[in-house]
């Protein structure tokens, strides 16, 4: 019962941090425009989502991704933008989850690689559907969307790397300083 309470409390705190990051970065203007396509913005809201995966497992990562969706939707009213952010972050933690408990030389690299690959694939597929329907003025054809994929892939690799490596660094720092935090999400 104590583990469940800790998980709920920790997920709530990290979800609140996602909310704080989203609102602070949006209203302070600190979101970083992607150099080759400034409409896309890099931020740090994925770090607490990845951290929730490391500390409490995939259900926590799913919950914090959902909080990111709700925060963006309530802040901007943009269902598409909120969905894109939530799907991007959720696909990252979903890809990382199978290797999160693996120790040794294979666990961490496979977790990173699979998280990034799943993010790029999920966002490519999502954009393949969404862009021609909702942004037909910019992406009127299937080919226009496909030609956008290399830029979109580069953006998602950079954004996913910020989330993953930020989460890894904070988790490793917590493991070193707080003995009760484990290196895995095992119970």
For residue range 92-131, list pLDDT tens digits in order. 999 999 988 777 788 889 999 999 999 999 999 998 888 8
The answer on pLDDT for 177 being more than 80 is yes
Assess if CATH 3.40.1360.10 describes domain 2-29+45-177: no
* pLDDT classification of 185: cutoffs 50, 70, 90: very low
Q: What is the pLDDT of residue 106?
A: 87
Given pLDDT bands bounded at 50, 70 and 90, which one contains residue 187?
very low
Average confidence (pLDDT) over 9-16: 94
The better pLDDT of the pair 171, 183 is held by 171
Sequence spans of domains, the chain: 2-29+45-177
Which pLDDT score is estimated for 182?
65
| Cα–chain center distance at 33 | 17
Average pLDDT over residues 63-68: 96
Mean pLDDT score of the chain: 89
Rounded Cα–Cα distance for residues 47 and 115 (Å) = 13
């Amino acid at each position: 019962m104590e583990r469940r309470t800790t998980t709920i409390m920790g997920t709530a705190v990290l979800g609140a941090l996602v909310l704080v990051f989203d609102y602070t970065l949006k209203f302070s203007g600190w979101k970083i425009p992607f150099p080759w396509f400034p409409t896309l913005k890099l931020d740090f809201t994925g770090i607490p989502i990845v951290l929730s995966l490391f500390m409490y497992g995939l259900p926590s990562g799913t919950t914090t991704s959902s909080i990111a969706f709700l925060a963006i939707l309530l802040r901007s009213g943009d269902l598409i933008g909120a969905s894109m952010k939530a799907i991007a972050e959720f696909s990252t933690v979903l890809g990382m989850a199978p290797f999160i408990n693996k120790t040794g030389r294979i666990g961490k690299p496979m977790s990173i690689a699979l998280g990034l690959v799943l993010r790029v694939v999920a966002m490519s597929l999502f954009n393949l559907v969404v862009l021609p329907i909702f942004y037909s003025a910019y992406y009127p054809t299937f080919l226009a969307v496909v030609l956008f994929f290399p830029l979109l892939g580069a953006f998602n690799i950079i954004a996913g790397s910020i989330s993953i490596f930020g989460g890894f660094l904070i988790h490793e720092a917590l493991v070193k300083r707080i003995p009760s935090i484990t290196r895995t999400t095992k119970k």
